Structure 1
Amino acid sequence: MKNKDFNWKDYHHQIYQIYHGMIALTLVPFALLFLEWDSSLEKVEVDYSSVLFILAAQLFWVIGFACWYVWKGERVLYVFEEEMSLHEKLKEFKRKNIYKYLILAAAGFIAAFAMWVQPSFLFVIAYFAVLVQYSFLRPSEDKLVRDMRLSKEERNELHSK
């Protein structure tokens, strides 16, 4: 992202495309599995004491850790220094958010995989918890300004280009 070529609307649109793309990547397998459950002639009864369910339930820890890590993880925390330019801050914000979205996508795939292995609505709830995390990370302009701790001058600079 060169200083001359920067366009705020393009930057913001690009982050939104990545954000929605990651949600769509996990939503497709989840929706297909969920529709398969609804349309199958034989209803699968879940045996909560089975070894398969107990092993699949261990994936809750992985999903929970991923949801925690996107907020408090060492590699996803923003590192903004006083001497950073606005463009360096924007690059840092984009890089960290893509990493967060990838972590949540992995958690969504794990929830869908667990649904496939052991059909249970507990995994549906886990998937929806991942979607809630996505909603809190929606890259709105206010969130971007707040997370990057932009000054009023930097915010005006964003819109001037």
Structure 2
Amino acid sequence: MSRLRILLTLAWLAWAPCPASAAPPAPVNEWSLKAAIAYNLLLFTQWPDEERWAPGAPLVWCVDPASPWWSALQGLQERPVRQARVAMRALSRPADTAACQVIQLDAGLRQASRQGAQLLIAEGREASAPWAVRLAVQGERVVFDIDLAGLRAGGLQISSKALRLAREVRE
């Protein structure tokens, strides 16, 4: 089993409730599952200047605090991404994205002008460009799409393992 599949399975298990013998299982929180998948995709993404990051350096993930992503992403604070650590940053205006390595695009932050090596993560099919990763719900599954042009525009690379698991890969 590939490392990404193992990580996605573990992420799902971490957020899935333990079944009680008499009670039906509670539904998995959609936003927590999306956050886990987005985090796992960071593990397969390479930033161009990453080798110069100091051990424990923050990997700044910017998100609108009014977004449904905000509370789900808070659980990822300080999680490791190779030698860096995830650092969530509240951001409600696209003009403040210069310090972000990851930008969560949604209703509050619909568009962000890329300022260097930034991974733009969008939500749903209606997400407008530019984006590099787009998460969506298809049936009862959370799926993701990858836009290679969006990755290249930020100087980013993603593992072929992640590309194989994507629902759609755009050139």
Interval containing the TM-score (normalised by the shorter chain): under 0.3
TM-score computed with the length of structure 1 as normaliser = 0.23
TM-score computed with the length of structure 2 as normaliser = 0.22
Q: Which has the higher contact order (CA 8 A, sep 6+)?
A: 1
More helix by share: 1
More strand by share: 2
